Chain A
Amino acid sequence: MKHTISVHVENEFGMLTRVAGLFSARGYQVDTICVAPTLEPGVSRMTLTTHGNDHVIQQILQQTRKLIKVRKVVDMTASPHVEREMVMLTVNAHMGEQRQEVLSLVEIFRARVVDVSEDAFILELTGNFDKIEAFIGLLKPIGILDIVRTGPVAMTRVAAVRAQQLADEEEEFSELTLNEKV
């Protein structure tokens, strides 16, 4: 099954290779990976997608957590979340009917034309995996000259975040009582 995993890392030299190297060393698949800074200076957030059975995913989470400069690893798939990916495509758009057809697809998918030339457009679309696949599928017969995808980024839904915070507070409470016993 496909899993989307969010990894908060300290943005050190070579951090991406540490995570990517762990995956290759242990034989896990990386389908997509996407890294950029967060609001906290020095901390980046990676979103990566991978697949495997529950046992493999558990190992991926634990092994990634073990990396010294990894702060947090969350399997987004386990809770309600929003996932978006961006794609840019250069597509044929010769004057006339073809150009109109592309523009109507842009309209329907709420994509954008970000570059125009006599015979081609560059289009930009954001959406979940299925939407992007559908868009690509419809453009293929028209002629896709070039394509680039970011791979998904994901964010946990607000309600789920609140619930998690409550759970964490409870956990902290029990940790406190437990420390008193020591």
Chain B
Amino acid sequence: MKMRGARILLEALRCEGVKHVFGYPGGAVLHIYDEIVQTSEELGITHYLVRHEQGSLFAAAGYSQATGKTGVALVTSGPGGTNAVTGIANAFMDSIPIVVFTGQVPTHLIGNDAFQEADLTGITRSCTKHNYLVKKVEDLAPTIKEAFYVASSGRPGPVLVDLPKDVTAQVCDFSYPETIELESYKPQVYGNPKQVRRAVQAMIEAERPVLYIGGGAIAAGAYDEVRQLAERLDLPTTCTLMGLGGFPANHPLSLGMLGMHGGYWTNMAVNNCDLLISIGARFDDRVTGKLSDFAVGAKFIHVDIDPSCIGKNVRCDFPVIGDAKTVGRQMLQELDAQLSDGVKIAPRDAWHEQIAEWRRQHPFSFKEDGDIIKPQQVIHELRRITGGKAYVSADVGQHQMWTAQLYGFDQPRQWLNSGGLGAMGYGFPAAIGAAVAHPDELCVAVVGDGGFQMSLNELATVRQYNIPVKILLINNGYLGMVRQWQEQFYEHRYSHSDMEVAPDFVRLAEAYGVTALRATRKDEVAHTLEKGLNLPGPVLIEMKVAREENVFPIVPAGAALKDMILA
């Protein structure tokens, strides 16, 4: 059937099973928005009007991270696209599958410095997995097919499709390709069996192993495989910031998060292990600290779908290229085979006891201070009231680390944060995405007063669609993490980290028509939080917390894990 490009785009989205789009209109995408108002309902696609293009990307990211589906964002040319760049870079760093459609000036004006023109494929080349400029309408459907395939397969990531205005007006026959194969792109899913065998043998023989789970395990849906590996091989298991929920926090084998703000016992276990088994993690500098002192006595197994991650930061003894779930299954089969040959798993009681001892020495802790609310207390209460079942997004900073340390994520895709890019402003719109995907679940955005002010414009979005996001604002009046570093590493010189002027957040939320509550004393926390979480629709809950609380432990930038500061 013949139809114009704008309609082809929507039909293609329907074919991809897309139900929700986060976007913002503008001149170059008017044909598309004209089609949305006429046909999106019939196609079962709901468009959410955000209040800033960056919000559309963060919402699409939260939507994708909370579901595993590919997120979709739609923005206009020029400033629409450039505003989206931070969100695209965030998805690139955290391997989130998103397809971003950007408007572009008509093909005959490209390169002419036309109104609202920006070279969006050029600008986003280094922060997308791939990008496309569609030059004629016949290419539109195949390009969209390819974009979704590339975004969601292999190591997932954002893909941008740039749509010149005239292409969305041109007419051609619509047929959507059913299958796709790219000569130049064939992700390796199945791990090399010889490598798997050697890796499993090492896992059986190790005396002090640690299993180290990253975001890749969540992306691959390897939760069951990871858990079985850990239980059957008796492996203490830690998760990266991106991997939280990839292994249940309440499991006896769980070590919690490792790295810069990881537990003392976790980092000690990693640093003293004789075998570190990494599944879908990439040995980021925030995880390893000083590389030359990182787990010096250990051998490394590294399972990753992205070959460029293996051997990038640490030497690898047993590289396995493949999908975390598939390789996990292979490992379990291989384990069966080796155990049936009479091989015995090395005893690890002493190792578990050692780790437990480290945990007893320095558990997470904070000091009470009269009536003042401590941010850690807020996160503990959040865990208690929600039973650990909520979808929780965080912005970037101290509150993010406290949430990561203390909430206790038992399920994958429950924890949303901007790990790699560390983009302030992420938390609130990401929770919008999660709440759109899971309208019947509790979705909480834990944000700081700094990051929230970078995206509080989305209060209008949650009001407009009555999206029941609960915003838990941890307000200390500082850019807390910046202040902490200035205190610890710059002799208390607080340079521009004090947010001297801030709005009255409760009245601000109310101005948007959003219900808001505030607690200022310790004894109000539980009650206020419980009340706010149980109100219908969007709610802002402000916690006025201790101004100068620090996140501990902390491994100073560039220092070894063992040199973490405990308090």
Contact = CB atoms under 8 A, between A and B. Distances in A.
Contact of A178 (B121, B130, B193): B193
B125 A17 contact: yes
Interface string B171-214: 00000000000111100001001000000000000000000000
B311 A58 contact: yes
A133 B121 CA distance: 40
Interface string B127-150: 001100100000000000000001
Interface in A1-35: 9-10, 13-14, 17-18, 21-22, 25
A100 to B, nearest CB: 52
A81 interface: no
A70 B190 contact: no
A15 B427 CA distance: 35
A135 to B, nearest CB: 38
B306 A66 contact: yes
Interface in B299-344: 306-308, 311-312
**Overall SS of chain B's interface:** mixed
B126 interface: yes
Contacts of A22: 126
B184 A68 contact: yes
A55 B311 contact: yes
A9 B308 CA distance: 18
B122 A70 contact: no
Interface string A52-92: 00010011001101111111000000000000000000000
A162 B423 CA distance: 51
A30 to B, nearest CB: 15
A58 B308 CA distance: 8
A65 B188 CA distance: 12
B125 A14 contact: yes
B307 A62 contact: yes
Interface string A141-175: 00000000000000000000000000000000000
Contacts of B182: 68
Contacts of A55: 311
Interface string B23-66: 00000000000000000000000000000000000000000000
B184 A178 contact: no
A17 B202 CA distance: 43
Chain A interface size, as a band, is 20 to 34
**Overall SS of chain A's interface:** helix
Contacts of A95: none
Contacts of A67: 130
A181 B196 CA distance: 14
Given A178-B193, A182-B190, A59 B185 contact: no
Given A18-B125, A178-B190, A63 B185 contact: no
Among B121, B130, B150, B185, the one with the most A-chain Cβ atoms within 10 Å of its Cβ is B185
B143 to A, nearest CB: 11
A17 B122 contact: yes
Contacts of A63: 308
Interface string B110-124: 000000000001100
B308 A62 contact: yes
Contact of B133 (A13, A21, A58): A13
B420 to A, nearest CB: 15
Among B122, B183, B311, the one with the most A-chain Cβ atoms within 10 Å of its Cβ is B183
B12 to A, nearest CB: 19
B126 A71 contact: no
A143 to B, nearest CB: 42
Nearest to A42: B183
B150 A65 contact: no
Contacts of B184: 9-10, 68-71
B142 to A, nearest CB: 13
B321 to A, nearest CB: 10
B190 A71 contact: no
Contact of B130 (A21, A58, A68): A68
B183 A71 contact: yes
Contacts of A59: 308, 312
A81 to B, nearest CB: 23
A66 B188 CA distance: 12
B194 to A, nearest CB: 9
A134 B182 CA distance: 45
Nearest to A24: B126
Contacts of A58: 311
A68 B150 contact: yes
Given A66-B308, A182-B190, A25 B126 contact: yes
A59 B312 CA distance: 7
A21 B125 contact: yes
Contacts of A25: 126
Contacts of B125: 14, 17-18, 21
Contacts of B126: 21-22, 25
Interface in A33-50: none
A79 to B, nearest CB: 20
Given A68-B150, A178-B193, A14 B122 contact: yes
A55 to B, nearest CB: 7
Given A14-B121, A14-B122, A17-B122, A68 B308 contact: no
Contacts of B307: 62, 65-66
7 contacts: A14-B133, A21-B125, A55-B311, A62-B308, A68-B129, A178-B193, A179-B190
Interface of A: 9-10, 13-14, 17-18, 21-22, 25, 55, 58-59, 62-63, 65-71, 178-179, 181-182
Given A14-B122, A21-B126, A182-B190, 10 more contacts: A9-B184, A14-B121, A17-B122, A55-B311, A62-B307, A65-B308, A66-B307, A68-B150, A68-B182, A69-B185
